[in-house]
Each structure stands twice: as C-alpha cells, then as structure tokens.
Amino acid sequence: GMYIFVPILLERSSATFMNLSLLTADFYSLVVALVLFHAKPSFLYFIAFCIIVGGLIIYNLAGDAPASRLSQRPSNFKSKS
C-alpha cells in the first residue's frame, strides 16, 4: 500500500523527505505497543518524535536553497581546459 504513494511523495517533495518520514514508523510501533500491550514508554520516545517532526518541518521549509547555493561557482573560478 505504501509503495503506491512513493512516486507522488517524490514528485511533491524529495527522497530525503521520504526517508525522514519513514522514521515516524517508530512512533507508529510505539502506538501499537501502547494499545495492544499496554506498555509504558520512556519519555525519550516522545522527545525523539518531536525532533523527527521538527526536522521534517525545517527540511521542508528550507526547500531547495542549500542545493542551489552549492551549484553556484565563484566568479574567480577558473576551470582547467
């Protein structure tokens, strides 16, 4: 089921965003452990989830700016020809 939406996600965002999104699978496994097994999670799970979601938001808001800056050459750059 998930692989149906991969091309759509890659078209709208990037492979890095997809890989970061896959990190949220740990959160879903935590929810299942809470519901099915009545486990008591450490507070670190919630801190990690907030960091992952924050990273996704920051990455998506940054857009393509870092890549465009890397592709620019300085004006004094001389290629060896």
Q: What is the mean pLDDT of residues 73-78?
A: 56
pLDDT in the model for residue 71: 57
Per-residue model confidence as pLDDT tens digits over 29-45: 888 988 999 998 889 98
pTM over 0.95: no
Say how far apart CA 23 and CA 26 lie, in whole Å. 6
Of 57, 32, 27, residue with least CA distance to 45: 27
Give the mean pLDDT of the chain: 77
